[in-house]
């Protein structure tokens, strides 16, 4: 499946995402179990993009990069024979490739034709025995560290996803973060484990592997221990001079800069706007939507597109209850998120941002009826600024 990257719009700068088959690494926490995709549909879209009018085809034709993959590892035994020809096809037509992987087979073949790229390597452990129990089919930690070293030696940019971050798996992140810094990775993306409610009932075998307590926390509210681990991991990375990212963070960060340097056709991110606000000399009151759109809008495609999944994927209820049209401009999508701050790509979800209200709690509205936001840099001090 090759589609616009619906799920991380305005979080990740790559606008397209490719996934193939269910991954053979069998990670117990994987959210994409049972995922299937038709390879012929992918190759037909790439080959015939010039004659199609879909959003995915438009993005391909504009030279946008493709993320491979957020749902299944391209170098797993089940995928590599399919993913390598697709990577080569994308490279030949001029679309950059960003890769998310735990490592695997035939990576040297990919490195023969890939230009300098951004690689995201997942590492949630520093204990190999524990890793083997939770991720039984995946490459060893030793193999992943060797892959990082190889990629950096060949001029690629490497990020490490300490994601998912679980206290029982990585109680002391110091050794891992120190090794990543010595290797020379650009940044660390740290997130706690999140599982859908009902995971325990739907997948009891996986719950037995993970442990009922971990599954319960991951599908409900994070514990103080988990939040403390997230904070400590971030702070360690910053102290080592690494860039750090966590979803909806409010600190300034150069985390995404290599993407903008290596790929044409990247989308903007909310981090760009957070950085823009930090660059100003004082706290900002009455930020209008027009200020936000001026910052990000010129980097997004013009026109109306069948783009409902930007809303439907994170909030089917909102899409149906508000009768949101299937075809939308990107400005319309951004306006919906400006008002509906429970959408994951709403800039108001960032801790330093809030709706500007009067003494009675009523929002101040601009001429278009959209609320003003306030940026308070003091509210971003829970995560100190990176890249300084």
Q: What is the pLDDT of residues 44-96, one digit of tens each?
A: 899 899 899 999 999 999 999 999 988 899 999 999 999 999 999 999 999 99
Give the tens place of pLDDT for each residue, 291-313.
999 999 999 999 999 999 999 99
Query: CATH assignment of 2-262, given 3.20.20.70, 2.40.160.40, 2.60.40.10, 3.40.50.10800?
Result: 3.20.20.70
**Residue 150: band (very low, low, confident or very high) from pLDDT cuts 50, 70, 90:** very high
Instruction: Give the residue with greater pLDDT, 261 vs 341.
Output: 261
Confidence of residue 387 (pLDDT cuts 50, 70, 90): very low
pLDDT for 222 equals 93
Instruction: Map residue 69 onto helix, strand or coil.
Output: coil
In this structure, are residues 89 and 48 in contact, taking their beta carbons and an 8 Å threshold?
no
What does the block give as tokens for 99?
A: 């890769």
Question: Quick one: which of 139, 58, 15 has its CA closest to 303?
Answer: 58
pLDDT of residue 38: 72
- Please tell me the predicted confidence (pLDDT) of residue 286: 86
Say what the pLDDT of residue 33 is: 59
Please answer whether residues 137 and 24 qualify as being in contact, where contact means their C-beta atoms are separated by less than 8 angstroms. Answer: yes
pLDDT tens per residue, range 95-116? 999 999 999 999 999 999 999 9
**pLDDT tens-digit series, residues 33-55:** 555 667 788 988 998 998 999 99
How crowded is the C-beta side of 121, counted as CA atoms within 13 Å? 31
Residue 34 has what pLDDT?
55
What are the φ and ψ backbone dihedral angles of 313, each rounded to 5 degrees?
-60, -50
CA distance 82 to 78: 8
> How far is Cα 153 from Cα 177, in angstroms, rounded to an integer?
19
Nearest by Cα to 374 from 293, 297, 290, 277: 277
* pTM exceeds 0.85, yes or no: yes
| 186 phi/psi in degrees, rounded to 5 | -75, -45
Confidence of residue 319 (pLDDT cuts 50, 70, 90): very high
Residue 280 pLDDT = 87
Distance, CA of 277 to CA of 133 (rounded, Å): 44
The pLDDT mean for the chain works out to: 93
Alpha helices by DSSP H, 314-361: 316-321, 330-339
User: Token pair for residue 158?
Assistant: 């490497």
State the pLDDT at residue 385.
Answer: 41
Q: Enumerate the domain spans of the chain.
A: 2-262, 270-379
* DSSP strands (E only) in 123-256: 157-165, 187-192, 243-245
Which element (helix H / strand E) includes 122? strand 118-122
Residue-level pLDDT at 381: 57
Per-residue pLDDT at 36: 63
What are the angstrom distances between the C-alpha of 151 and each of 74, 147, 263, 291? 16, 6, 17, 39
Q: Report the chain's terminal Cα–Cα distance, integer Å.
A: 39
For the chain, what's the residue count? 388
**pLDDT score recorded for residue 388:** 34
Q: Rounded distance, CA 274 to CA 252, Å?
A: 6
CA distance 336 to 307: 13
Is the pLDDT score of 333 beyond 80? yes
């Amino acid at each position: 499946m090759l589609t616009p990257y619906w799920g991380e719009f305005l979080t990740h700068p790559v606008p397209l995402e490719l996934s193939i088959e269910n991954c053979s690494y069998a990670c117990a926490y994987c959210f994409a179990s049972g995922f299937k995709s038709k390879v012929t549909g992918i190759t037909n879209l790439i080959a015939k993009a010039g004659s199609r009018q879909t959003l995915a085809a438009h993005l391909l034709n504009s030279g946008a990069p493709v993320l491979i993959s957020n749902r299944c590892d391209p170098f797993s035994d089940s995928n590599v024979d399919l993913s390598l020809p697709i990577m080569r096809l994308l490279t030949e037509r001029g679309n950059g490739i960003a890769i998310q992987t735990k490592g695997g087979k035939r990576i040297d073949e990919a490195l023969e034709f890939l230009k300098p790229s951004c690689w995201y390597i997942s590492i949630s452990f520093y204990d190999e025995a524990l890793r083997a129990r939770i991720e039984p089919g995946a490459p060893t930690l030793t193999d992943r560290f060797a892959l990082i070293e190889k990629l950096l030696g060949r001029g690629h940019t490497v990020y490490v996803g300490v994601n998912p971050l679980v206290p029982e798996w990585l109680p002391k992140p110091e050794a891992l973060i120190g090794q990543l810094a010595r290797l020379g990775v650009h940044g660390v993306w740290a997130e706690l484990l999140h599982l859908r409610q009902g995971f325990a009932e739907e997948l009891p075998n996986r719950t037995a592997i993970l442990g009922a307590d971990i599954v319960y926390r991951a599908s409900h509210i994070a514990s103080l221990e988990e939040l403390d681990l997230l904070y400590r991991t971030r702070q360690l990375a910053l102290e080592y001079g690494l860039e750090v990212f966590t979803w909806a963070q409010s600190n300034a960060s150069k985390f995404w800069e290599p993407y903008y340097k290596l790929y044409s056709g990247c989308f903007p991110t909310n981090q760009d706007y957070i950085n823009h606000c930090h660059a100003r000399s004082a706290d900002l009151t009455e930020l209008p939507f027009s200020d936000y759109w001026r910052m990000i809008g010129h980097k997004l495609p013009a026109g109306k597109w069948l783009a409902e999944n930007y809303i439907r994927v994170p909030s089917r209820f909102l899409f149906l209850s508000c009768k949101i049209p299937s075809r939308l401009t990107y400005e319309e999508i951004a306006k919906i998120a400006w008002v509906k701050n429970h959408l994951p790509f709403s800039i108001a979800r960032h801790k330093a941002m809030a709706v500007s209200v009067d003494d009675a709690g009523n929002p101040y509205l601009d001429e278009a009826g959209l609320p003003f936001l306030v940026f308070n840099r003091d509210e971003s001090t829970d995560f100190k600024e990176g890249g300084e």
